Amino acid sequence: MSKAKSDAVREPLVDKNMAGSKPDQPWMVYLSTFVAVCGSFAFGSCAGYSSPAQAAIRNDLSLTIAEFSLFGSLLTFGAMIGAITSGPIADLVGRKGAMRVSSAFCVVGWLAIFFAKGVVPLDLGRLATGYGMGAFSYVVPIFIAEIAPKTFRGALTTLNQILICTGVSVSFIIGTLVTWRVLALIGIIPCAASFLGLFFIPESPRWLAKMGRDTEFEAALRKLRGKKADISQEAAEIQDYIETLERLPKAKMLDLFQRRYIRSVLIAFGLMVFQQFGGINGICFYTSSIFEQAGFPTRLGMIIYAVLQVVITALNAPIVDRAGRKPLLLVSATGLVIGCLIAAVSFYLKVHDMAPEAVPVLAVVGIMVYIGSFSAGMGAMPWVVMSEIFPINIKGVAGGMATLVNWFGAWAVSYTFNFLMSWSSYGTFLIYAAINALAIVFVIAIVPETKGKTLEQIQAVVNP
C-alpha cells in the first residue's frame, strides 16, 4: 500500500453527505459500538486508577512523592506513544486489529502492576496500560464513526466520552472498597471484554474498501445494515469518497505552518493546551490526595466526584448541537476558574490556620465545581472542534499532532502536580485559575462557532 494511501486511511472514512440506507436491524451496529466502547471504559479505568490507589501503593512499596509522580505520569507518556503509533497499526491490521493490540497492552500492564514488588515492574505496567489507553483514544472514535449510519452516528460517538468518564468514576468508587492490587485485576475486565468481543463483530467496511478487499467490504456492510437493507447506494458513496481521498495531495508536517492553515492549527492546538494545562489530569489523578490534605473524607469525596462527572457528561451530550461549541467552552472555562479559586481559598485558609471548619467544605465545593465545569464543555469540545476545524487533506497529520500536544500536556501536568502542591497548595490552584482565565480570552478572540455549519462553511470562515 502506498504511503499516500496509508495517510488517507487514518481518517474516519466517512462521507458527510452520505445518505445511506436505513438499517432494518441495527443490532450489529449496537453490538460493535458496545465492544468498541469497552475500550473507552478501559481508558477511563487506567486514568482513574492512581487516585484511589495512591496512599496504599506509596505505603506498601515505600514510594517517595517523586517516584509516585513518575508512576502516575508514565500513563500519559505511554499514551503519547500509543496515540502516535496506533495510526500506522490501524492502517496495517485494521481497526479491530488495533483495538486487539490496545487490549493486549492493557492486560499485560495491569498484570505487571498486580504482581509488582518494586518500582520498576510498577512503572513498566503503568507505561503499558498508558500505551493501550493512547491507542484506544485514537481508534475507538474512528471505528464507531466508520461503522455507524448517519442517522444515529452522533448519538453513538458520544458514548466514547461517556464511557471514559464512567471508567474513571467506577475506578474511583471501587478503589475505595478494594486494595490497589485487586483494583488492577478489575481493570483487566473491560480489556478482556473488548478483546473477546472483537471476534464477534465485523471490521470497518470503510477500511476494508480502502484496502481493496471488496468482497469483505460488502459482507461487513451487509452485516452492519441488516440482510434486507439495500446497501448499494451507501457502498457506492463509500467507494466514491475513498477515491476522492486518494486524489488529495499528501500532507506533510511543514504544511501545517502554511498561512492558509495556521488559524486552524492555532485553534486546535490552543484548545488542547488549555484543556490540559488548566490542571485536569493533576486533579483527576490525585483527587484523593487533595481531599486528604483538605481534611475532607476521601471516600465520600471521590464517590461524589465520580457520580457528578458521569451525570454532567451524559446530560451535556445532547445539547452540544443546540447550545453551540463556543458558549459551552466559555461557560466551562468560567466554571473552571471559579472552581480553582474556591479550592485556592480553601488551601489558603488551611495554610494560615484560618476558619478550619470551612476548609474541607470549600475544597470539595471547589473540586466539584471544577470537574462539573470541565465535563460540561472543556472535556469534549476541544475534540469536537478539532474534528471540524481542519481541511480534510491535512486532518490526518494535524489531528495526530494535536493529539500529541494533548497527551504531552497531560503528562506534564500529572508529573508536576504533586511537586506544585508541595511548593504551595493554594498557589497551584491559582496557577490553574490563571491558565483557565486565559482560555476564556482565547475562546472569545480566536475560536469560531461551528454549530450548524457544513465543513465547507467552516473552512470558508477559518481559512478564507
Mean pLDDT of the chain: 85
Q: Does residue 348 surpass a pLDDT of 90?
A: yes
Residues 65, 50 contacting (CB under 8 angstroms): no
Residues 314 and 18: their CA atoms lie apart, in Å, by 27
Q: Do domains 25-201 and 252-463 have the same CATH topology?
A: yes
* Of 11-25, 105-119, 157-171, 360-374, the least confident: 11-25
Q: What are phi and psi of 305, to 5 degrees?
A: -55, -50
Residue ranges per structural domain of the chain: 25-201, 252-463
Q: Does position 7 have pLDDT exceeding 50, yes or no?
A: no
Q: What is the pLDDT of residue 6?
A: 42
**pLDDT band at residue 151 under the 50/70/90 scheme:** low
Query: What pLDDT is recorded for position 403?
Result: 82
Please give the model's pTM, rounded to 2 decimal places: 0.77
What is the topology classification, in CATH, of domain 252-463? Answer: Growth Hormone; Chain: A; (1.20.1250)
Tens-place pLDDT, residues 224-237: 887 777 778 878 88
Does residue 453 have a pLDDT over 90?
Answer: no
Q: What is the pLDDT of residues 199-222, one digit of tens each?
A: 999 998 888 888 888 888 888 888
pLDDT in tens, 46-93: 999 988 898 899 999 999 888 988 998 899 899 989 888 887 888 888
pLDDT at 157 over 80: no
Least confident of 8-22, 244-258, 392-406, 426-440: 8-22
Q: Name the CATH code of domain 25-201 (choices 1.20.1250.20, 3.40.50.1380, 3.40.50.620, 2.60.40.420).
A: 1.20.1250.20
**What pLDDT sits at residue 324?**
77
| Percent of the chain predicted with pLDDT > 90 | 42
Burial of 69 (0-12, 13-18, 19+ CB in 10 A): buried
For residue 15, pLDDT beyond 80: no
pLDDT given for residue 432 in this prediction = 97
pLDDT in tens, 116-125: 999 999 999 9
Predicted confidence band of residue 331 (pLDDT cuts 50, 70, 90):
very high
- Distance in angstroms (rounded) separating the CA atoms of residues 172 and 305: 8
pLDDT of the residue at 430 = 97
